[in-house]
Amino acid sequence: MKLSRLFVFACLVFIGTSLATAQESIRLQFEIVKDGSTVAKPEVSVISGSSGSIEVDNVVLFSFTPTLRGSDAVAISFDIRSGGKQFQPRLVISKNEPGSLSWPSDTRAQSFKVRVSWLQ
């Protein structure tokens, strides 16, 4: 009888820990570079698994969804629409290792680069 109660308690703790981890907010800093010049450096907080978006000049530049991978990494899925195409790259960053990606604009006369860092 006592063993079954211990098992139930352990299951409840595991479920509670999983839900708490899933609801953890992730702070990211983006640096948006357009044609070699930094145009924005927004800091955003997003709940792990939820989506956010970055706008430049009232146009959504990209959407992103960060997901915690343990305590030392964040996987970020991007949704970028540019030049009539859709790109869905993915970055994995850590506390000490930021990431970046780049793409041409719709007109191909401009280019974008995004650097992303995980803030603690």
The residue whose two tokens read 């506390």 is 95
- pLDDT on residue 85: 85
For the stretch 33-51, pLDDT in tens is 988 999 999 999 999 999 9
DSSP letter at 72 equals S
Four-residue CA torsion sign, 74, 101, 33, 36: positive
pTM: 0.76
Dihedrals φ, ψ of 8, to 5°?
-60, -45
Which tokens sit at 49? 């698994």
What's the pLDDT tens digit per position in 98-110? Answer: 999 998 876 667 7
Is pLDDT at 21 greater than 80 in this prediction? no
Q: Is the confidence at residue 73, as pLDDT, over 50?
A: yes
Percent of the chain with pLDDT over 90: 57
39: left (phi over 0), alpha (psi -120 to 50) or beta: alpha
